[in-house]
Structure 1
Amino acid sequence: MRISVPAAALALGGSLVLAGLVAPAAAHAAPSQCLGLGVANLYGEFVEGDDTHTPDAEGAVAVGGNADFTGGFSVGQELTPEQVKALPGGNALVVAGKLTGNNTQVMKGNGVYGSKAEGAVVQAHQGTVAQGKSPIDFAQEFARARAVAGELARMPQTAGATVEAKGKGLYLTSGDAAFNSFTVSAATLQGATDIFVKVPAGSVTVVTVTGDSYDMAAAKTTGFQLWDEGKKAYVLDDKLQSAHGGAIRSKLLWNFPTATKVVKSSQAAWSGTVLAPNAAFDLGSAAPVNGSVIVKSLTGKGGAETHHYPFTGCLPTTPPTAPPTTPPTTAPPTTPPVVPPTGTPSATVTPSTPGSTGAPSTPPTTPGTTGTPAPSVTPSASGSPSVPATGRPSASASASPSASASASAAVPGASASPSAGAVTEGGLAHTGSGPVVPLTIAGGLALAAGGALVLVARRRKAAGRV
């Protein structure tokens, strides 16, 4: 089908305006994000206050208060070179307050302390140890940890997830491949001698424990059993064995948002990372935590170690909110204007120009006609753009209705009206992005050029009649 020059010009102008309105919308797309544990997630023991502990921590240790390592303490044996490099200042040991202990060994990385007790000895095997200011802002990091704990606590339990007591065992079961959330009371959890967790390998699992205190020793909990799909059986978690080669525990987080006291049973190796930012945490005198601990204070001795299995999961959160916009509106279909026969006068309604008295102006006449005024383009309820108060050119520009009619007749549906779904403000669609104004002006110029072509065509037509 042949398209007339005026119609093509108007269609081009409308396309340019639409391009300016729609293209920038893609810039609002926001990627999903994770709730970050910040610097705390780099350390096997991250303590806001005091840490009294022997004999060792396989990962890095950061203490915001004083550290009492009397009896001997080693730090960072299982750290990789990449993990050491990621630590603030490469410090595998950070003690903001006073360090006490006559045999503290930093196996990998550096160490820094605020002060030392008389006779205290601290040595580094693959780095340096020195007195200095803490490279960690503990107040800031624990504010973050508490915020994350609270946010996780507000997440609903995963649809279909169950928490079921069977005899002396407690079974937590959920099948979401990405994220599984459980909520259980401290009383229920500490009533179990064995805790069974069954979730898909690779998924992130958060168990939020409600209540002010939790005492695992109350029921003499003896083990954490994690489901291994390959073996079709629960596997007792320990340093030498774990379900799916440790893939379950590395993404397992125990969240205690309100607890002020948490006690680990000395008979059980606790599987997963413990987030208890308000709690005094008692490791007991035997059996390790196979994960990290983020706590207000910490005590432990004997075989109550922290093994280096840092949390590796992505804790989901709501993506960043896109810039506020008006809800999308859909413009109703427009009806092509009807061109009146030559010589038949038609009513003209001209929108008033800001600052005028509102009286309709005299419409221009087209050369070669009998003086019949040509109708001007007017705003309509169909959603066609008008000239907003900001002075942005509208899609109507200065084209006459005859040109609009030609465009509509030659290209059915071709219109400068905002496309369905475009966001409108003041009658002109936009997405709030910078390129809208220049592209809209370009569209207006193209429309004006189309109007000029219409005028030339009419003059030629009129000349042919003479």
Structure 2
Amino acid sequence: MRIPISAAALAVGGSLALAGLVAPAAQAVGTDQECRSLGVANLYGEFIEGDDTHTPDAEGAVAVGGNADFTGGFSVGQELTQAQVDALPGKNALVVAGKLTGHNTQVMKGNGVFGSKADGAVAQAHAGTVNQGPSPIDFKAEFAKLRAAATSLAAVPQTAGATVQAEGAKLTLTGGDAKYNSFTVDAAKLQGAKDVYLKVPAGSVTVVNVTGGSYDMAAAGTTGFHLWDEGKKAFVLDDKLQSAAGGAIRSRLLWNFPTATKVVKNSQAAWAGTVLAPNAAFDLGSGGPVNGSVIAASLTGKGGAETHHYPFTGCLPGTTVPTPSGTPTVPPTVPPTVPSGSPSATPSASTAPSGSASPSGGPSASTSGKPSASGSPSAGGSTAAPAASGSPSAQPDAGGNLAHTGSGPVLPLAIGGAVVLAAGGAIVVAARRKAARKA
């Protein structure tokens, strides 16, 4: 059937306008930026490119691109929620691309997959299956993105007004931006601190960029990470059973080591926040845990050196991630300060992409002392406990960038639809006038 030109114009205009309505909208981060997470790595408590040699356990999920040696016993995923399990590739809480070694590997929640097993190796699942098979994760591709992201984050200048002050063996980082605080600290200065103090608004995203080729926490015998609690008007020593603002600070705290090839955490201190060290051999030592995730080239750890399930939930700057051999073509932009009362920068669960973790999937309060996942805190110093699930934008996008949820083409598309729709209407009016004159 031949469609009159006026009807065709209206159909095209209407389609474009509809596309503008159904396309993903910006999620509380403004129309000029995107909210990005750490991709697939954001779903795992240990995301390791090479080998992982570790005992006794990791509370979150574990993904290993090389071989995993869990001799002595290892448990995985005890603190995962069902929503977080569902968000994992193939629901695999344990992924070992290479050989699995260890006679007592327990996958507490979710499935497990390994490339091969050493003689006598035993892996059991308590609420799923463990099978031999190909890795559901392309570690090479993911780490290319992570290295580019680490470089881009490090290029963000220190936030205006932020300070890094060393007083003897005490190091204090202070930032007042309600949305995003970036610090730059030399590795030698950081490892010279026995105690580290961080004061930022609850709800803000904090990135500490550590420069240098190596960092050794044992150098000064760091004993604690203290986070500011606005409600208590005091610093709180971060630990499994306590954290400032109900965990709101550490859940959005990222330690970025873009150039380090070795990071040593051989201390009794609990390291608060997630560590991004994509080029580093990470030594957890045998002391205290990391209260966050570890993303590294390789990992070793034993004794009390566990990884506790407090995933990074922050919204990172909308940076353009280059191809592995390239450099960023668009300088990173820092999210602008949002006026009081504006929505949080964290995307809502209603628009999370398929396969990503929902904010509602955070763990509930338990005897372990973990903060309640009743919602992420506001930027104004609220003491509400953060959601402990993976970021809603934890699934990588199809274009090679970090996972993101942003405004994209929504506004231009909607405007284009309106313009074409108006043009279609004008054509209809002109056609009717022409017909009237002929009559």
TM-score (norm 1): 0.65
1:433 aligned to 2:416? yes
1:194 aligned to 2:195? yes
The whole-number CA distance in structure 2 between the counterparts of 1:156 and 1:74 is 40
The whole-number CA distance in structure 1 between the counterparts of 2:243 and 2:41 is 24
The whole-number CA distance in structure 2 between the counterparts of 1:111 and 1:448 is 66
Residues 438 and 175 of structure 1, relative CA distance in 2, 3 Å threshold: closer
The whole-number CA distance in structure 2 between the counterparts of 1:292 and 1:450 is 68
The whole-number CA distance in structure 2 between the counterparts of 1:305 and 1:127 is 23
Residues 163 and 452 of structure 1, relative CA distance in 2, 3 Å threshold: same
Which residue does 1:380 correspond to in 2?
none
Residues 53 and 441 of structure 1, relative CA distance in 2, 3 Å threshold: closer
Secondary structure at 1:159's aligned position in 2?
coil
Which residue does 2:76 correspond to in 1?
75
> Identity percentage over the alignment?
76
Which residue does 2:158 correspond to in 1?
157
Question: Would you say the 8 A contact 1:194–1:223 is kept in 2?
Answer: yes
What is the Cα deviation at residue 245 of structure 1? 1.2
Residues 131 and 437 of structure 1, relative CA distance in 2, 3 Å threshold: closer
What is the Cα deviation at residue 437 of structure 1? 6.2
Map Cα deviations across residues 251-306 of structure 1 (whole Å, 9 max, x no partner): 10000111111111322110000000010000011100000001000000111000
Residues 310 and 449 of structure 1, relative CA distance in 2, 3 Å threshold: closer
The whole-number CA distance in structure 2 between the counterparts of 1:243 and 1:186 is 25
Secondary structure at 1:151's aligned position in 2?
helix
The whole-number CA distance in structure 2 between the counterparts of 1:438 and 1:257 is 49
Partner amino acid, structure 2, of 1:247: A
The whole-number CA distance in structure 2 between the counterparts of 1:318 and 1:98 is 35
Residues 447 and 149 of structure 1, relative CA distance in 2, 3 Å threshold: same
The whole-number CA distance in structure 2 between the counterparts of 1:234 and 1:195 is 10
Question: Would you say the 8 A contact 1:36–1:148 is kept in 2?
Answer: no
Map Cα deviations across residues 236-262 of structure 1 (whole Å, 9 max, x no partner): 100011111111101100001111111
Which residue does 1:215 correspond to in 2?
216
1:286 aligned to 2:287? yes
Residues 449 and 87 of structure 1, relative CA distance in 2, 3 Å threshold: closer
What is the Cα deviation at residue 48 of structure 1? 0.3
Which residue does 1:305 correspond to in 2?
306
Which residue does 1:227 correspond to in 2?
228
Secondary structure at 1:39's aligned position in 2?
helix
Cα RMSD, aligned residues only: 3.1
Which residue does 2:186 correspond to in 1?
185
Question: Would you say the 8 A contact 2:108–2:126 is kept in 1?
Answer: yes
Which residue does 2:49 correspond to in 1?
48
Counterparts of 1:45-194 in structure 2, within 5 Å, are: 45-194=46-195
Secondary structure at 1:315's aligned position in 2?
coil
Corresponding pairs, count: 328
Residues 126 and 444 of structure 1, relative CA distance in 2, 3 Å threshold: closer
Partner amino acid, structure 2, of 1:111: G
Question: Would you say the 8 A contact 1:48–1:64 is kept in 2?
Answer: yes
Partner amino acid, structure 2, of 1:151: S
The whole-number CA distance in structure 1 between the counterparts of 2:153 and 2:232 is 31
The whole-number CA distance in structure 2 between the counterparts of 1:60 and 1:442 is 56
**Larger RCO: 1 or 2 (CA < 8 Å, sep 6+):** 2
What is the Cα deviation at residue 33 of structure 1? 1.6
The whole-number CA distance in structure 2 between the counterparts of 1:449 and 1:75 is 71
Question: Would you say the 8 A contact 1:170–1:194 is kept in 2?
Answer: yes
Map Cα deviations across residues 5-60 of structure 1 (whole Å, 9 max, x no partner): xxxxxxxxxxxxxxx9xx98x96996332222111110000000000001110111
The whole-number CA distance in structure 2 between the counterparts of 1:74 and 1:185 is 35
The whole-number CA distance in structure 1 between the counterparts of 2:146 and 2:431 is 60
Partner amino acid, structure 2, of 1:89: G
Residues 441 and 222 of structure 1, relative CA distance in 2, 3 Å threshold: closer
Unaligned runs of 5+ in 2: 1-12, 322-413
Residues 125 and 434 of structure 1, relative CA distance in 2, 3 Å threshold: closer
Counterparts of 1:224-373 in structure 2, within 5 Å, are: 224-317=225-318
Residues 444 and 155 of structure 1, relative CA distance in 2, 3 Å threshold: same
Partner amino acid, structure 2, of 1:189: L
What is the Cα deviation at residue 316 of structure 1? 2.0
Residues 273 and 445 of structure 1, relative CA distance in 2, 3 Å threshold: closer
Which residue does 2:379 correspond to in 1?
none
Question: Would you say the 8 A contact 1:111–1:128 is kept in 2?
Answer: yes
The whole-number CA distance in structure 1 between the counterparts of 2:60 and 2:316 is 22
The whole-number CA distance in structure 1 between the counterparts of 2:47 and 2:320 is 28
